Amino acid sequence: MSITQLPRLRSGDAAQAPFSDSVPYWVEAITGEFEIRLAGDDSVLSEAKKSTTGLLARVGLTSTGDWITDDTHCALSIYADGRRAWHLWQTLWRAKEAVDVWVMPIDKPVVKLLVCDMDSTLITTESLDELAAHVGIGEQVATITARAMNGELDFVAALNERVALLAGLSLQQLNACVQHTELSQGAKTLLDAANTGGTRTVLISGGFTHFADHVGRLLDVDRVVANTLALDNNALTGLVSPPIVTQATKLDVLREERERLNLAPHEVCAIGDGANDMAMLGEAGVGVAYRAKPVVHGATPWHLDHAPLDRLTDWLDFGRAAPPQ
């Protein structure tokens, strides 16, 4: 069965299982050529290729050609059923060191909806931590942020605690901080590819609209969802205006967009790094953990720990979604 023949399951049935023995239905349903892709520095790719070739021999899988290699990336095609390809992937991922491992059917999915987190995903920093640095409490707030993103603290409580410490920060200071926002490597190329292909793009963030709207404009994102900082006399009050964007919000937005466009799970890609991204990563047919916190790695098998975001333009296709019925 090819990807184009897969059934279009609805919410609830569509969720991708955690990276365990449970195989996503759209992977398990495919028997045919799969592609193993490795990305990393040239110094580690050679050894990674050798160990991967050895593993294939031990599990009784053979390649359908030779390794195709450039300086930072290599690919090898194999013939397998989805379940064997999935378990091979698990073994490779758990054994890898300084390379990213990607296993995908040759008939790879065309992504028609791309949902992205912002902080430490599309941009290099946590926007709240940057604001805190302006008032001299950067280290204090960054510690709370790290614990929240690792799932050690309740997200909403941690957000409110940190924002309260920013009371009095001026709108001028806020806007100055926004202008120093740095995009992650490859973010512009990735979003340009999605936009060129007609893929629907959504930025959803537990950060703040001042940053998210700015990044959305830089990347030409179709929809931006983020938290709003309350202001009084052009200064932060230390409060977040409800409703607060949570892990549940991110999941709801992904489902809403997928249902509106009548997409199958494998036509949806989500990218994130923190604990509050785990639900949407698990729901997307292709959920990508980018430079992710340790707790997030188990939510999805697709990881970018070393390669930049634009590597996804080689590993996935992007295409226009059909208009809503």
Angle, helix 209-219 to helix 187-197, in steps of 10 degrees: 60
117 is catalytic: yes
CA–CA distances in Å: residue 80 to residues 18, 86, 87, 225: 21, 10, 11, 40
Beta strands in the chain (DSSP E): 31-39, 68-69, 73-81, 100-105, 110-111, 113-116, 200-208, 223-232, 235-241, 268-272, 286-290, 302-304, 317-318
Active-site position among 21, 81, 100, 117 = 117
> Which position has the token pair 């990393």?
40
Active-site position among 41, 66, 71, 119 = 119
Cis peptide before 243 (omega within 30 of 0): yes
Sign for the CA dihedral angle at 254, 256, 257, 258 comes to: positive
Distance (Å, whole) CA 24 – CA 15:
8
> Which position has the token pair 């050609």?
65
Distance (Å, whole) CA 137 – CA 160:
15
Distance (Å, whole) CA 14 – CA 6:
12
Residue 105, classed as helix, strand or coil, is: strand
Max Cα distance, the chain (Å): 69
Residue 112, classed as helix, strand or coil, is: coil
Distance (Å, whole) CA 100 – CA 109:
19
Structure tokens at 180: 């120093």
Catalytic positions: 117, 119
